[in-house]
Chain A
């Protein structure tokens, strides 16, 4: 007794239970979800995306356009093809109305990646691929054989043909066992190659299942030679009702009968333009399906057929039955002069419009294709990649020729990779002669609204006609206008059919028209698989300073600056960010604060020409800097815009330390090396990143001198002995240190540099002095903005020059040149309406302007377009000013100081007054404490 009414007699297996659309079913191990549904008589599996029409299983593998399902258990996965989902016990799924739904829960499965190299990569383990792998493996070459199916043999289990006297599936299993015995061969089953990129770089997804250590693995394979043995897809014909459940590719029906032991129907009509569908009709008959008629487009019909009636020179002109085929209308080809429609009762309609070699990967690799009139298909032509195409993928149609072709291609590939292929004779199979196929794209009708071209996108011949009548002549344009071929099946069964229909409508040759471009991925791939382990904390490296643990322990909140974690502020109990930052700012302005500035980029430059290099790259003169002194510097692009800023410290005649902004450290090192190597190779300079070798603590505020004096009793800290912009070596808290007197807050300040190993000890000693408040980047931002110090990347973009920032004083007039100098003399750089960095004070001292907001001149917005004068780049609450303020880039801003401008915020026009960009201590009186 069977509970699977459409299971072929005698087919048994391990029973698996599953649930589909809320009903419980049974299938067998080895089934796909599609074959198990067919075995249970489920015809309509999904509904179409645009028209909501019921759709059934149309194909038997990755070319399926219709049977889209959502897996619900064990983990929700959307948009899978029922024809490729291997059945497992407990599977819960449902049919989709064209679109799936991503899970809201985090996926507990792991995904992984592997890099591999090989001499020969064979794609596809069908007759040609296995033969190729066997002959390549015999040469000793390192071979990878990747095949997307769970069992080897390609179409052999579908067709039940014999090879070397063995049933095809048995021959394939034996071939695979032999390959597994080769130490240099790796066989990847359930591994679909989905991308073929430059220089034989291929990407494949291995489906390992829920029980494996990772659900899927992404293989990135660099192969010296590639053999594409990717087979062929059968294609449909555009006729009325060709989307009904029960309409199926002839080869798919043959696969369900032979591979899965499933009867896709009870009574079938076969509609074909070639001989291959006769073999399907024969196998279905043998399995107990009644073949009511073979409808052959060709007036001479096909090869001898001892089954039911052959209606030669006939076409299928209609299909009845809403949720599944109930009858098929057959009419003589109007060109043949016959008349008289017939209606044939059937629940299954097999279609074969011809075969498309699977040239997708070849096309992705930049290979050119040519249309073959005899085969009615695109075949691989020229390519610059080191690739062979073998078997059905290059248009061969008989098993014997595919076996021989694969063996030859494998040997050629191995030899091209430098190996000697042995004399292994290819496997043999009987070749049956076939009558010439005809190429029919569509069945003529008065109304084309039911002639589907792309089943997944619901595109009909009527839609294509609308495109060609709108004047579109290129298939690429028709594709985008109609969306034909853009669904996630990548148009496997519809691409060439679309070209054929367009060619028919335009009355041109398909060869002339061509087809659309093939692009990766060949089959859909999940983002989780592409990401692999690079997600969450492993998505990008996280860089922390030697003091990080202290910041965490003290409850600091962090902000990401590039890859660095920097403490943003250190809230005390009950404090929000606003309160914490105001407190930290006040502490620095009134007493002393300390900040971890270890993330600032540090580049050590050594060599006799180091000073010369710095003179050319920085706008200021660096070669005149005495040993022991420090200078602020700005670097520009050749177009004169600001690239980065920092300080340059002269450590010795031939040695400097340049600091960079945190986010730009790598870019500045790249910049220096690029100029040295490509423009000035005669300069003798080494550039070394030492960012992570040093820990740096900024000690700022009027109280900082006393703190430093306490920690470094051997250091003379008075202003005369240790002036601004100089550095000293000293022992600070007993640690060897380089102390620099520089300030990014306008207050008396020091930066204490020690070995990264000693960073925490220094920091703890500074904190232990009792008079120092730790502060974070938010406070630092407020303090520097009060002083009008710009932050590159926040107050600048790719249009801002040093002069725009009020930094004209760093532009050396003495030097003949520096990178960017010539641009600063261009008329565009001298225009009076350039945007200048200015300060803004909102009329309402409690009003915080949004950063990025625009500035306009009028209290009421005029009709658009509204001339914008600039935008807010930084905006804060200031403890020192007792109010809010902002920095902004404003057109002709320095001429507008004192002017009233407006910031549109929502429907409101917020009034502000323009000020100079330095709002706090403009005389610089506080710098020396």
Chain B
């Protein structure tokens, strides 16, 4: 039975628990009730009172004035939302607001897009009758920050910025200050944006109904003539962005309000760090190596040169003397084309992508355990989970929008286990921070499994019905020597026990992991152990549970899905299986190679030993980002021919024979697939910079130039082809993806999948694996000479090698890599914060600045790798995950001492 309430005596259906405002909006439209302090992503607050309505308990009965935004609707209530009295009250309220607001609308940056202006117009303000009184009109502007601005003379004290900073970003950088009429917004300790702990996410600016808080790009102005919805190019969260443009230039970016991924929120990279796209450093002409430098060339010249060179190398050294590295920054369509080019045109499986250096162990580990190497659940499941386990991930820096969702849950008391050698933002909030020694994930996760088994917390129904290998696994895990493992990990066994029991005791526990799991010598094994925990406790196949890798790059999921890896083609089909070879042959129209190709580290070795002659790299700076820079550089220099598609003259591009200027995400179309398997549409906001081409177009051009007929680069056309080749893209069409995207597998009828492995695993039964912890050879071989452990990670402000973010205002916020050292170690080394430090490993050395904090335990140091001046990867080593060859960035034997010169001098 439907329940009703009345608007102006007309009955309307009500929703259980809704506010009067929500009810009125549903039936009379979003804008029917004027509001100022209300905002869709924020809790009802009740400060402006403009949404007041009259409410009665009987038809035309005695009414009460209530603020509709927080007044609960009751069945049978009579709402009178627009009476003469209400109109007058709203007018009187706005009149009061205007006694303390500048009346300079014509010169205001948000004129035409100001909520106060709209509401004032709607209530019919004529005059302000109050005599001039105290006001805040002289409040000075704050233009201290590279992005954020404030002009608090325009502030109406609605608290939306304060609430956004708290309720969305979880940062609490803003507050009201003072009392009553003297109230004013402060940043940090009543300082400027620049000097405050602001993380520049821009949530406050987007939430502000006036121009009191805004940004350098005037993102709320109506100067733009076009607005394009697209997907962020940075991390794997996949934020939806609204790009404002005019005259072919990007003016500003805001987070799309209705997006399922990021609902009006994003981080400073997505919102503000777009200036790189028209930076003067952009490459705008093909370049061909000549002597010690490069000469500019036409596209035709470059293509002819490449085609001739590749044909020559293939005919002399064979197809397998050529390799390609695709890009997780590029679209699905571009990745599909790149692997197709290498496989169908060149004829080798030597194709890989940067997933090799990040989540290849996730893909492999989860394929072995469950049958699919992708997130089992969706990020929105955070709303219903009862416990969060974060292992080896620092999402508030590296995956900010997902990170703050986890943070919000933890702040509100959802129990959280954080397994990390560092005191990350989330670790500080965690119920249990298991601060293990880097490189001991396997030992720690085995301890957790041991306690789940020995404390009787196993979900036997689940494992008996849906898994295999559990009996052997449990027999082995029972025998675990806990005392020894406590020593190995350095984590108190009781803490591990409590965390394990908590994980196993709640109804729904959700796991997240990052590169702190995968970038280890036992990375793939660690992923399988995480899978063990989920299976042991039945945390698979429903909302609020599962294993959820936080994918690092915007389309690293897609790059692997599209086959940019040497052992599996598009759609993860094994390249050695005849039926799959036939599948590809049918669709590509040519025979495909049958042997597994080279992984990236193997390509380096092959280049050095002379068997690999040519390499084509699409948008990856392997020299700066892959470990052991000396080795990578030697490999590049050993090649006969290196082609690089790039936006900028990267460290890798400098070593190329031909450089082809690609286009940025703002200049192309296609699809990106985010970390929760969501395929989303990337729309072109501006045309490619003159002289540059979309990377997909470049690949298509060269395919044609080499005699393979490939249709031109257009997202919907390529997507049609992909839908035929990749089984789990069966129902994907450009139109069908819509505004919110679809999560694969997408069935032929277009329905998608939020949660995987519901009834059974993709591989049938979930597979348990047992592994003993083994110390990495990096330490066993080097720790005598290099007794400290270096672990690496990222900061919020920069993205990977910083090619893009260093060319934006982000570089004004963070301009160097630093080495984090525990105070005890710092004391032993005579170091203090700010001192230059020389960091050494068996491979090389780098000099950077020390930051002395307790974020790491004694014996462990930590740094980022965003700045080429430092080249931290001179330090990192050759050890890889045994199975996927994902490099061990997270454990490096080092030593360090105070340096004589400053780091960046």
Do A and B form a real pair? no
